A and B are shown apart, each in its own frame.
Chain A
Amino acid sequence: MKTVRFVHCADLHIDSPFKRISAIDNTMGELLYQSTYQSFSNIIDLALAEQVDCVLISGDVYDSSNRSLRAQLRFRNGLARLSDKGIPTYVVHGNHDPLNSWSSKLDWPSNVFIFPGDAVACVPLVKDGEIVAEICGISFSKRDVFDNLALRFPKERKTIPRIGLLHTNVGTNARHESYAPCTVSDLCACAIDYWALGHIHAYSILNRSNPAIVYSGCSQGTHPGEIDEKGCCLVTLSPLGDPDIQFVPTDTVRYQCDSVEISSCVTIDDIISAIEAKCEQVSENMKNRHTVIRLSLVGINELHSELRRGSAVADIVENVRDYFKGRTPTIWLEGLTLNTAGPYDLELLRHGNDFVSDIISMYDELDDPQSAHWKDVQERLNVLFTDWQGKKYLDKLSQSDVLALAKEARNWTLDALVRTS
């Protein structure tokens, strides 16, 4: 049994639009447009530099089923670079780019293998004229695959290591759609030594060995919710010992959410300085990557009311964006939320005997989903989230989401009540 060294990546989402961003300028927009392709290019560079035996791509090469032509051409060009150096590529398609989605009739490089969607296929990996491993995989034939595809993988062991490529939601991760769901047990039951999984965008090792079950995560974050470093796995399967799995960041733009404590700020300028300092700090930690930052202001401050007034927050954001304009690497303050409070004692107010204490008590009662207030809120919100024609574009709000928003509404109310009293 020979050592097998390969790159495992997934969820490239080449040419993905940036998502969940409320505002962007041209510079950062262009960087975001290029980011998914650039991270894929970084993966190719890594594979060439490490002279790996193969590259595995576990689904969602493209972002949408109607994949853009430029994305396909860019993907093909990347694979051609590998092919030119004799490195084969094995690809399965996932829910974002199932086999039944449109694809241009491009001529793929000779040693690119795209797994079918009807059944698990196994192909040998040949190194120096010798079969050193077997690569098994299955693509999504359509987007909505809810079958447990893991069950279709071979169960019989071989003398050579076997690698499985699968786009799946293991353990039915609630934060991701449950495509091709399976469990760790299902995976362990197969005669696979390394599961190269895709679909979950965060890098994670579900099982270190026997078999190794690994999500490489996406190669580049595509929205502010994906704040961790993104990249691929450089894996070495050796006859002795557990697989050596190294995570290699390949992202070029990184998202970051953070908060800025402004209790000690006396003026708006102080707040702006604090925000700029935070952005600088975040950027420094990104190791020369472009950064999209979403910040929330926290703390109790006299300026709270002023911040809430009119376009104060928007003005601050513009000010900070202007400050970082032209900076390399680029820093983009994507959003600034106001989670501050005025200089009043909530507990004291809560225990008063006036209108303010009444309203605080009512908000407190919202925590009980059985309360009349909660039901009234639900009923009020249904006007938008149930009845409105554009509801499909809205986030479905959980109870905690609603309670968080209610808390903000309470603070707004208290700001108004306590501000002028």
Chain B
Amino acid sequence: MRILEVHIDGFGIFAGRHIRGFTTGINLFYGGNEFGKTTLLSFIRRILFGFPRSSASTNPYPALFGGAYGGRLICQLKNGENVTISRTLGRRAALVTISTATGQLSGQDELDKLLGHLNGTFYENVYAISLEELQEIGSLQGDEVRSQIYGAGLGLGSISLPDIRSEFTTRSESLYKPTGRKQTMLTLLQGIRDLEKQASTIEEGLVNYDGLVSGREELENKVRKLEGQLSDLRVLQKSLENKKTLFPVYLDYEEAAAKLSKLGKAPDFPEDALQNLELKKTAIADLERLIDENSAELNGLESEKKRMVYNDRILASEEHVVALQRLSEKYRAAVDDIEGVKVKRTALESQTTKNISQIGEMWNISRITNFNPNHVQKDKILLYASSFDQARVRLDDARNKLDYHKEQKAAASPKQLPTRAFPKYAVYLIILLSLCATVLGFLTSYWWLALPCVFTMFVGLFVVLKIRQSSRTELTDPLQNELAERLERERLEYQRLDSEWREFLRGIGFDEDLSPKGANEVISAIQKIQLDIATLDELDSRIARMQNTIDNVKALHEQVAPYVERSYITTDISANIPVFATHLDSAKTAKLRSQDLGERIRKLHDRIANLRNDKEKLEGEILTYISSRGASDEADFRQKFAVFVERRQLLQNANACRKNIQMVVGTGEHFDSFLASISSTQPDMIPPQLEEIQRHLTELSNERDQTNISIGEAKKEIERLSSSNDLQVKQSEVELKKQELRDCSRDWVKSQIGQLMLDKAISKYEETRQPDVIKAAENFFLHVAGTNYSAIIKPIDSDEFEIRDSTGRSKSILEMSRGTREQLYLAMRLGLIEEYEKRSEPMPVVMDDILANFDDDRVRLAIQALKSFSETRQIIVLTCHKNNLDLYQQAGATLLSLE
């Protein structure tokens, strides 16, 4: 790569500056101090490898005169391709972009690829140097530099032998170092020793096993012995505690026995002997009290009975009084109603008579009562009514037809006077009226009316006959004749029916002139009268009954009234009846009370007699009971019983004491021996003895418990030793660490051998072969330094350089002059660059007044050498020395300036 143009947007003192015209060969910038040479050098470095992090030792070259921080380099690669490398300061980090003809890339990684992965430090130390770096020996001691010096010459490329050696050394020393203290193997050794100690401790514990077993057995024997002693002491303690507890009981027992022997023998009494006696006596007293009470009650009853009187006669008339009570209401009603009923009957009777006379003269109560039309008669009346209706219809029909025919005929023939019909009907009307008047005259005996009417009626009949004769003469028409005949037949039929009807009416005793409807009405009137007659009969009967009741009550009243004080009697029978009843009830109550008193008196007599019998019986029993126990009387009986009770109590006490003692000490010989023992015991001595025993017991118990704890611990330890694989585990841990140690030792051996053999090979190489870097540097150095020196020596494992003079003597760096040393360093860098670029992208070399300390001859020689070196490379030289400017220009350098 070579630089074609430099564009500085903002960097240090530069802002918006551009440098163009870079060529292959030496490119020269000339300027005084503060010109910005070092700034330009840093710009190129940083555009290619990045802006360094700010630190106290780093100049950040801030854009002092504005412009965006950064800039770009336009470069040409080895293959002829142009690229633009731009670097600016982003928000957080610098941004680098690479623009090529085919596109744009970004990031340092991409740029590194372009630069052939050239290390920035290497570039700074070798390619872009100022006088400061040139003078600094450390700048040639970096790993990369060392690698470059030896790798190529060794045929190992960029391999770093010191690295390999260092790897062996590091590995070896991490495992073991004679003077070290923290190496792995030493740690492992310590671990092994610790574990072995622990295992040893476990082993020592195992040896104790037998001792533990025998110790445990001894302790168990000791415990058994202690248990025996404790058991004996507890027996003694118990015995003393028993004596202490039972001593009062023992005293009671002895006392009871002594009293019993004094009392001697006494007859036996039942438990409740005295109680029985008292009970019997109490029973006798109770009986006496009852007798007294009953006698008093008897006397009272007898007195009361004597005072009791009642009305015997009214009691004898109880039946009448009861009858009066029963009839009392009925009697009162009869007295109240009888007159009214009678009035009502009289009125009905006169109405009935009137109704009968309206039916007919021949009708009276007897006939009406006996009249009883049956169903056949009623049905016949209905039949006749129907027959009359039909006959009337047919007759009217025949007449109408005849009349119609005549009218038709008359209409068909010359008109005839219609007066012919009119006179006929008028005649009929007159006849009828005459008939009615006649009847009315006969009924009312107005003869003056009846006779003219009879006459008029006959005249009418005559006229009718005349008319009818004239009509017949007119019957020359057959239809008319037929209709006339029919009319005649119907009229005859009607007359027959009427005769038959009249016959029927006569048969049942009715007026012949009654129509069927009139007949029915008469029947209905008769039936109503029959009902009234029945009502009259009922009223008669009722009046009779009421009268009978009144008569009966009066008779009964007469019979009872004498038996009641007159002062209570009034004229009102109804009022007297309750008085009779009251008297009767009083008499009955008094009689019942008297009877009850008599019964109770009898029973009391019986009861008192029984009570006296019971009392006598009990008194006999008491005497027998007392004598049965050998007592002469009750006092003797009581005295003997008291002795019996005392003896019995003493026996109970003695037995209770014995039981209490036996419950504690046992029966039989234990009891006997206890009695014998306690009889000789001083109770005051027991507490101190117990205290002594308790103290001894506590001591022994504690000793036993402690021993048991020891046994438990021994057992636990024995069990642990028996079942534990601690030793095996611990030994295994030791073995694991041993194996680890062995493995480490093998690794250490390998590292040591590797290191040793590498050293040997390097030594051999140094002695027999020198790398191309040194050879190239040597050419430059010898060209500049002249014939005073013959070779440069670079020990393979050292950062130091040596030069060998013409006599073969080696001279170390410290022995060189400053100028010679800088010439050597420059030579080494040029050698490195030559070696590096054999297989990598060439890079522009930037030199900032590095010849300052060279003498004039060596400056000239150095510029000549640089000219030769730059034939295929680009070198950018920055100088402030006019002399050097001239020499560079004489060597064909291109002078450039900042735009």
Contacts and interface: CB of A to CB of B under 8 A. Distances in A.
Contacts of A285: none
A311 interface: no
Nearest to A402: B749
A402 B742 CA distance: 13
A29 B728 CA distance: 11
Contacts of B227: none
A15 B751 CA distance: 37
Contacts of B740: 22
A390 B189 contact: yes
B725 A33 contact: yes
B754 interface: yes
A394 B741 contact: yes
B155 A421 contact: yes
Given A20-B735, A376-B756, A420 B159 contact: yes
Given A69-B206, A393-B742, A17 B728 contact: yes
Contacts of B748: 384
Interface string B723-749: 111011111111110111111011011
Contact of B207 (A17, A23, A29, A102): A102
Interface string A21-35: 111100001001100
Given A354-B155, A409-B750, A68 B736 contact: no
Contact of A406 (B154, B178, B753, B758): B753
B760 A413 contact: no
Nearest to B733: A17
A329 to B, nearest CB: 20
Contact of A17 (B176, B735, B741, B760): B735
A298 B156 CA distance: 26
- Interface size class, chain B: 35 or more
Contact of A68 (B151, B206, B745, B746): B206
Interface string A401-416: 0100110111011001
Given A104-B209, A105-B210, A413-B757, A381 B764 contact: no
Contact of B736 (A24, A67, A380, A383): A24
Contacts of B168: 412
B159 A412 contact: no
A393 B738 contact: yes
A70 interface: yes
A358 B763 CA distance: 11
A189 interface: no
B847 interface: no
Contacts of A387: 178
A104 B727 CA distance: 15
A380 B749 CA distance: 9
Contact of A19 (B735, B749, B760): B735
Given A68-B206, A352-B155, A417-B164, A381 B749 contact: yes
A420 B754 contact: no
- Interface size class, chain A: 35 or more
A376 B758 CA distance: 13
B544 interface: no
B66 interface: no
B391 interface: no
A20 B739 contact: yes
Interface string B155-199: 111110101100110000000101000000110110010000000
B732 A409 contact: no
A359 B761 contact: yes
Given A69-B722, A358-B764, A405 B736 contact: no
Nearest to B157: A421
Nearest to A390: B189
A32 to B, nearest CB: 7
B752 interface: yes
A354 B154 contact: yes
Residue from B724, B740, B749 whose CB has the most chain A CB atoms within 10 Å: B749
B435 interface: no
B385 interface: no
B739 A19 contact: yes
Contacts of A355: 154-156, 161, 761-762, 765, 769
Nearest to A104: B209
Contact of B178 (A32, A356, A383): A383
A395 B764 contact: no
A357 B727 CA distance: 53
A413 B164 CA distance: 7
A37 B728 CA distance: 12
Contacts of A89: none
17 contacts: A17-B733, A20-B739, A23-B736, A64-B731, A67-B206, A70-B728, A355-B765, A356-B154, A359-B757, A366-B757, A380-B753, A390-B185, A390-B192, A393-B189, A393-B741, A409-B753, A420-B156
Interface of B: 151, 154-159, 161, 163-164, 167-168, 176, 178, 185-186, 188-189, 192, 203, 206-207, 209-210, 213, 721-725, 727-736, 738-743, 745-746, 748-754, 756-758, 760-762, 764-765, 769
Given A21-B735, A376-B760, 14 more contacts: A21-B739, A22-B740, A33-B725, A69-B206, A69-B721, A362-B760, A377-B752, A384-B748, A406-B757, A409-B757, A412-B750, A416-B163, A420-B156, A420-B159
The 10 closest A-B pairs by CB, nearest first: A354-B155, A17-B731, A17-B732, A409-B754, A390-B189, A359-B761, A355-B154, A66-B203, A409-B753, A409-B750
